[in-house]
Amino acid sequence: MAVRKLLSVVVVGRDDGYGDTGLSPFGLVPKLNFMERLVFTIKNNVQNFLTEFSISEIQYIIVDWSPVEKGRFIYKNEYFQNNLPKLVQEQIVKHVIVDPEAVRDSGHSPKKFYEYYAKNVGIRQSDEAEYCLITNPDIFIPLELTNKISKAIKENDPKKYYRPYSRIDCDEQLNKLAEGIIFTQNGLFQDQVLGTPASGDFTMAKTETLVNLGKGYNELSSDHRTSIKQSSMDGELIWNLYNNGVMPSLLTSSILHLDHSKDIRGGSMSDVPYENSTSWGMLNYLRSKIESNVFLINNVKSTGV
């Protein structure tokens, strides 16, 4: 029987060129496309994590949400295959593909990208790891921060969630463009105390804590769940953790965010506790293994959880 892993790193996306056209918020033309950002962060993050953990202790879960074309999977992208070492692909990276028909069957548009529903799938697929780190495919985790993550995991505290000190926006050469402090001193409890800003970029806790106390990202609220604009759902998970007795903990290091163009997002954040559906994260759909470390969630309802 395999030893339970210490850490799952969850990222979500699909091979649709997100963030590749138009200007970034800093008025720059993105130099790296989506797949280049994804490969860059996986390669470098895995390398940094391997200074603290063994190969058998970590996994990188990529949730490929509703691919835009049949068979156009992230793991089959030529650039992805050519630029990630075989060891990483076979030993560490786990792909979970959510079939468009499963998205349609759940009442949503398979053409839209539902970031936080995809992240819920990643959390649920992390049940073999003690800790789950939810991040994004454009987030580089420096060596200093991986050291802090390792120390946090050794605490083994189910009543803490972890956030970094700041998010540093960078160009493709990792030159600093701007910095946003996570626990910003603005007088707002949700920001200053809970650290909600940019929490979709980095939130870490024990997997059982995210499942049983955080309860995943809220799939029941009608507020901004049927729209592609799902901003603020990341902060609502933070609120739900806090409302269920899980306290914030600061990791005194920063994440680096690779600059790219982005859509205007909207949505108000609620601090009201929620329970979520019992099958959040598409637990009521069947997951089938289609290749080594590649799984497909299709629209066949599972008989169990």
Rounded distance between C-alpha atoms, residue 26 and residue 3, angstroms? 45
CB 297 within 8 A of CB 285: yes
Instruction: Fill in the amino acid letter for 137.
Output: P
Q: Find all residues with CB under 8 Å of 1, minimum gap 6, and list them.
A: none
Binning pLDDT at 50, 70 and 90, where does residue 91 land? Answer: confident
Rounded distance between C-alpha atoms, residue 61 and residue 215, angstroms? 19
Q: Which tens digit of pLDDT belongs to each residue from 231-260?
A: 789 999 999 999 999 999 999 999 999 999
Q: Which residue ranges form the domains of the chain, and what is each CATH number?
A: 5-300 (3.90.550.10)
For residue 226, the model assigns a pLDDT of 56
pLDDT score of 187 more than 90 = yes
Binning pLDDT at 50, 70 and 90, where does residue 305 land? Answer: very low
In the chain, % of residues over pLDDT 70: 94
Mean pLDDT of 122-129: 94
For residue 90, the model assigns a pLDDT of 77
Mean pLDDT of 207-222: 93
Q: Which two tokens stand for residue 67?
A: 């691919």
Q: Which tens digit of pLDDT belongs to each residue from 143-182?
A: 999 999 999 999 999 999 999 999 999 999 999 999 999 9
Tell me how far CA of residue 38 lies from CA of 7, 119, 226, in angstroms: 19, 16, 27
Q: What is the average pLDDT score of the chain?
A: 92
Dihedral, CA atoms, 63, 69, 72, 74, nearest 10 degrees?
Answer: -30
Binning pLDDT at 50, 70 and 90, where does residue 267 land? Answer: low
Instruction: Fill in the amino acid letter for 57.
Output: E
Q: Going by DSSP bridges, is the β-strand pair 294-301/285-291 parallel, antiparallel, or unpaired?
A: antiparallel
Q: Out of 54-68, 73-87, 138-152, 162-176, which region has the weakest mean confidence (pLDDT)?
A: 73-87
- Give the DSSP H/E element, type plus range, for residue 159: none
CB 257 within 8 A of CB 156: no
Q: Out of 88-97, 189-198, 242-251, which region has the weakest mean confidence (pLDDT)?
A: 88-97
Q: Out of 28-37, 191-200, 217-226, 231-240, which region has the weakest mean confidence (pLDDT)?
A: 217-226
Rounded distance between C-alpha atoms, residue 240 and residue 172, angstroms? 35
